Chain A
Amino acid sequence: MSRTITIDPVTRLEGHGKITLKTNVQGEVSDAYFSVTQVRGFEKFCEGRPYYEMPSLMARICGICPVSHLIASAKACEAIMSVEIPPTAAKLRRALNLAQTIQSHALSFFYLASPDLLLGMDADPAERNIFGVAKAYPELGRAGIGLRRFGQHMIELLGRKRIHPGWVVPGGVTQPLDPAKRDEILSFIPQAYTDVKLALAAYKQITERFQDEIDSFANFPGLFMSMVNEDGGLEFTDAGLRIIGAAGNILLDNLDARHFDEQIGEAVEPFSYMKFPYYKHLGYPAGTYRVGPLARLNIASHAGTPLADAELIEFKHLANGPVLGSFHYHHARLIEILHGIEVIEQLFSDSSILDKHVRATAGVNRQEGAGIAEAPRGTLMHHYRVDDKGLMTWANLVIATGQNNNAMNKGVLQAAQRYVKGDKLTDGMLNRVEAVIRTFDPCLSCSTHAFGQMPLVIELLAPDGTTLDEISRS
């Protein structure tokens, strides 16, 4: 008899969603859907507001990556203003975006993923959490907390608030960097290096235990997209986009914000509020692609900082061509943390970071503008239209998690076909299906602009749609 399994809510994610697994008459999983079940409508209720309010308004979409929204939004506003921001403002934004990436990746790796990695996918769920990690591996627990605090404290020092700082504005930033704050940030760097090196060493020791998961967690050929700088290096804030194929071949290069929507379409499916972006040239679903740390490291030829470059060489040896297994998102996050610390150290060790010219001003000079930044989870795009007075008439956001939507669905199906057997769900099965999604570190609050935490449900359905089993965590 065929059936449907529902996992609802999926745990240790940001947001709210559910997984539905359909089985055939042989009892094998035949299809899988990752559904995001909430919607907020930021694009709609911003209409009528002045464009310069957008960065602070849109950043409220997310409490984890508000800085990326601030930057993408400010860049869209600057396109409307037709201004180029001062070089020091660009450097400060770059540092702020990396600080956010560090704290977000630390949250993902240490708080959400490390319980599976360090304690095991089949460990007692009562212990399989960050507190269990803290108990079993206190040095790694301290490292995770330390890296998250480093990123958050740096955001607070620069933007005066840990979450939703108002420092990034259209035209640059509101205030130059105070030398005392620069010194304080630099004083945290040595410990941050120690913490991330500890995590990298621990990760490399445990990965061989997870070969089965590496093989079956969203491991398939497909496209990748990310920002890449002019010499092919890793970049998060100011550069064009590149799309590569599964063999590493460049399909599209130097895509800038103005032409983003000419190349990227957004499909919808009836089972989710989250959209399915795709590369128009290949159509949907063939043109769907992955973004985020794995995509960035697959696309960049080098990181441009010595320690991260050494790690990137090792990372690229995992495959002959792009690394296709999404389990390696975890590894990529740690390398990006290391790179972020190095770039912040470089930027803040240069006296030009204290330059007082940090904001350009202008009014409405165009009625349409778009901005792109790399959020921790991948490429983020804000696209606005305004009237003559600068009031918003239309907005569209293309969110990183949405761009991984098709890959997450394929990954859930792949893992479910590997692990879900028989008529009854076990916790180990449930956790592995959830863990596939965790590799992408989705932020469903961002992707549907949904409010609330993200528990998730798994539902098992018969071919006739009857619910046969359901597991729910809250």
Chain B
Amino acid sequence: MMSAATPHSANQPRRALLLACGNTLRGDDGVGWCIGCAVEQQLRGYDLTVVRTRQLLPEHAEAISAADVVVFVDCSAVSAAGTVSTILIQRAESLPHTLTHHLDPGSLLRLAHDLYARTPSHAVVVTVGGESFEMTDRLSRTVKAAVPRALEAVRCALLGFPAPETASQAC
């Protein structure tokens, strides 16, 4: 986790939050953490908090409510392998009826709104299509090759620029 003061430009959000999701022991599912670590290094000096987590939880709602922009980065099990997708998200109309062990980004925005009466002005999900979810701490070649594009998409989302590539696949 990192947080540091920096001068703000017109394009630079004041407080950015990156929720890097996944499991580093399940092959490509670790790509979110890999990107989270890289962004943390690249954007040193920005007012950025990187949270690495295996799943989205109600406990993340407060950090989301305190951010001006939130980006969720995760592996997608349904997109084509190596596809980088950037999806703008809105808060969900309602919250789930049951509490399982994870939440989706829209529901977390909703929870942040209901509990803390504030949500980020900009919320984006960046996904990378996964190829292999076997028990390994290494990314597949296809996903590894997609990491630079995903990094750029996350950077753009965090800094307020349009993403270089968009797609409409669901997370």
Contact = CB atoms under 8 A, between A and B. Distances in A.
20 contacts: A111-B99, A112-B99, A130-B58, A131-B95, A131-B99, A131-B111, A134-B95, A134-B111, A134-B114, A141-B115, A142-B62, A142-B115, A142-B116, A145-B58, A145-B59, A145-B61, A145-B115, A146-B62, A152-B59, A163-B54
Given A145-B59, A145-B62, A149-B59, A134 B115 contact: yes
B7 interface: no
A11 interface: yes
A185 to B, nearest CB: 15
Given A145-B59, A145-B61, A149-B59, A129 B115 contact: no
Contact of A130 (B62, B99, B101, B116): B99
A181 B34 CA distance: 25
Interface string B2-43: 000000000000000000000000000000000000000000
A130 B103 CA distance: 12
A129 B101 contact: no
Nearest to B96: A131
Categorize the interface residue count of chain B: 10 to 19
Interface in B32-86: 54, 58-59, 61-62
A473 to B, nearest CB: 8
Nearest to B62: A145
Nearest to B117: A138
Nearest to A135: B114
B102 to A, nearest CB: 11
A141 B114 CA distance: 9
Interface of A: 11-12, 111-112, 125-126, 129-132, 134-135, 138, 141-142, 145-146, 148-149, 152, 163, 453
B114 A129 contact: no
A318 to B, nearest CB: 29
B135 to A, nearest CB: 14
B98 interface: yes
Contact of B97 (A125, A134, A146): A125
B168 interface: no
A163 B97 CA distance: 25
A453 B96 CA distance: 17
Contacts of B97: 125-126, 129, 131
Contacts of A129: 95-99
Contacts of B99: 12, 111-112, 129-131
Contacts of B115: 134, 138, 141-142, 145
Interface in B107-145: 111, 114-116
A98 B162 CA distance: 46
A142 B62 CA distance: 8
Contacts of B96: 129, 131
Contact of A135 (B54, B95, B100, B101): B95
A11 B96 CA distance: 14
A135 B112 CA distance: 11
B25 to A, nearest CB: 11
Contacts of B98: 11, 129
A11 B99 CA distance: 10
Given A11-B98, A134-B114, A145-B115, A111 B58 contact: yes
A37 to B, nearest CB: 19
Contacts of B100: 453
A199 to B, nearest CB: 15
Nearest to A63: B101
Contacts of A131: 95-97, 99, 111, 114
